[in-house]
């Protein structure tokens, strides 16, 4: 490696970046697919990659960085959800959650940042503020750590959702590169429509995601309210983008086939479930191929909201149903280990 050459983020490099790098260090771009398969598909060390050879393996190792991620805690729950507390090299911690689906599959909810800058008032992660963004390699390695744990339970991770700590579109370049690795057929090889990015709604970044992946990445919008004052109360950064501009960005987002846009709505009694609020959500969803995911607000220490009773939660669904909205209830899983949505602030941090 020359003095001017930046070390490559080995596990977060897209195949094009990897090929260019291998060329530069004299290994040859034609090894890129083989290296990507070894690292991401087979999960083996550089030295064990067939036909690469020890000299090339050393040249790659010496010119790249590999994030050291360590499983600090594995917290299984009775419903099958498993929370992983992951320690990063600098001591920061993030969380990922394995959510079982069907009989043999699992979805991995992963983090894109340590903490979050968005400041959502209903979310435990917001209380941390933004500590830093994860490198693409740190994002991808969460899947590497989770895969054997899912496999031990007889499950294969076939879906990834960016719904853990952080706002993935606020950390766009790393999110984009991580998705490219996760969906590269020589990388992790997830189907592109198996990746969902959840965002509080940054219209310019939604447009960018649409351009970069041609609509193959699924979109989940943390809508919560379609009335501007309520939305700003829940998501302070919503003040920068009004509801109409958000809706226009969803209209522009390219969609493949019968893909739906998920609209996440957290049910907070008296705030997001009033008839006016639900009518505004129905109006927002009208004309979109959207599914509203209703999520009961999950309590955390110091928060000033109240969780809905099961009666209130079901009533919100009934009202949206009556307004002709396609609704799904997302019941919190893993609540006892604070793995449910919005609870990913780390009691274990530090
Ligand atoms: S809900 Fe998402 S975007 Fe909002 S503070 Fe929490 S992690 Fe950040």
Q: Whose alpha carbon is nearest atom 3 of ligand 1?
A: 167
- At residue 2, the pLDDT reads 47
Q: Whose alpha carbon is nearest atom 6 of ligand 1?
A: 123
Q: Identify the band that residue 299 occupies on the pLDDT scale cut at 50, 70 and 90.
A: confident
* The pLDDT of residue 348 is above 80: no
- At residue 232, the pLDDT reads 97
DSSP bridge pairs for 113: 133
Average pLDDT over residues 314-336: 86
| Domain range summary for the chain, segments of one domain joined by + | 8-65, 70-337
Ligand 1, atom nearest to 119 Cα: 5
Average pLDDT over residues 281-297: 96
Q: Identify the band that residue 350 occupies on the pLDDT scale cut at 50, 70 and 90.
A: very low
- At residue 6, the pLDDT reads 81
Distance between Cα 284 and ligand 1 center (Å)? 21
Ligand 1 first shell, C-beta below 6 A: 116, 118, 120, 123, 125-126, 165-167, 200, 222, 342
Q: Which residues are catalytic?
A: 95, 341
Ligand 1, atom nearest to 166 Cα: 7
Pick the CATH number of 70-337 from 3.20.20.70, 3.30.360.10, 1.10.1760.20, 3.40.50.300: 3.20.20.70
Q: What angle do CA 247, 193, 205 make, to 5 degrees?
A: 40
Phi first, then psi: what are they for 206, rounded to 5°?
-65, -40
Ligand 1, atom nearest to 165 Cα: 7
Question: The tokens of 324 are what?
Answer: 């002709």
Q: Whose alpha carbon is nearest atom 7 of ligand 1?
A: 166
Q: Which of 339, 260, 258 is nearest to 300 (CA)?
A: 339
- At residue 3, the pLDDT reads 47
Q: Identify the band that residue 5 occupies on the pLDDT scale cut at 50, 70 and 90.
A: confident
* The pLDDT of residue 256 is above 90: no
Q: Identify the band that residue 338 occupies on the pLDDT scale cut at 50, 70 and 90.
A: low
| pLDDT tens string 163-218 | 999 999 999 999 999 999 999 999 899 987 899 999 999 999 999 999 999 989 99
């Amino acid at each position: 490696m020359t003095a001017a050459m930046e070390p490559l983020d080995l596990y977060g490099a897209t195949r094009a970046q990897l090929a260019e790098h291998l060329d530069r260090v004299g290994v040859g771009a034609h090894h890129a697919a083989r290296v990507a398969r070894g690292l991401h598909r087979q999960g083996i060390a550089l030295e064990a990659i067939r036909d690469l050879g020890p000299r090339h393996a050393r040249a790659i190792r010496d010119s790249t960085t590999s994030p050291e991620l360590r499983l600090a805690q594995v917290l299984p729950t009775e419903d099958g959800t498993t929370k992983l507390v992951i320690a990063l090299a600098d001591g920061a911690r993030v969380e990922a959650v394995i959510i079982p689906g069907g009989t043999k599959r699992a979805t991995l909810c992963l983090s894109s940042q340590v903490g979050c800058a968005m400041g959502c008032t209903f979310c435990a992660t917001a209380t941390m503020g933004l500590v830093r963004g994860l490198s693409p390699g740190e994002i991808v390695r969460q899947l590497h750590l989770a895969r054997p744990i899912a496999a031990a339970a007889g499950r294969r991770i076939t879906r990834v959702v960016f719904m853990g700590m952080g706002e993935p579109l606020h950390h766009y370049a790393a999110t984009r590169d991580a998705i490219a690795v996760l969906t590269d057929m020589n990388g992790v090889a997830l189907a592109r429509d198996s990746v969902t990015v959840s965002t509080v709604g940054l219209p310019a970044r939604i447009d960018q995601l649409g351009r970069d992946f041609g609509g193959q990445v699924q979109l989940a919008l943390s809508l919560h309210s379609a009335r501007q004052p309520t939305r700003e109360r829940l998501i302070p950064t919503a003040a920068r983008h009004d509801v109409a501009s958000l809706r226009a960005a969803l209209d522009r987002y390219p969609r493949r086939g019968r893909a739906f846009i998920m609209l996440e709505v957290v049910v907070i009694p008296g705030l997001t479930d009033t008839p006016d609020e639900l009518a505004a959500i129905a109006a927002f969803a009208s004309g979109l191929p959207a599914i509203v995911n209703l999520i009961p607000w999950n309590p955390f220490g110091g928060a000033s909201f109240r969780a809905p009773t099961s009666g209130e939660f079901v009533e919100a669904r009934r009202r949206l149903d009556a307004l002709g909205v396609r609704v799904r209830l997302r019941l919190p899983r893993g609540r006892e280990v604070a793995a449910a949505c919005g609870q990913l602030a780390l009691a274990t941090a530090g």
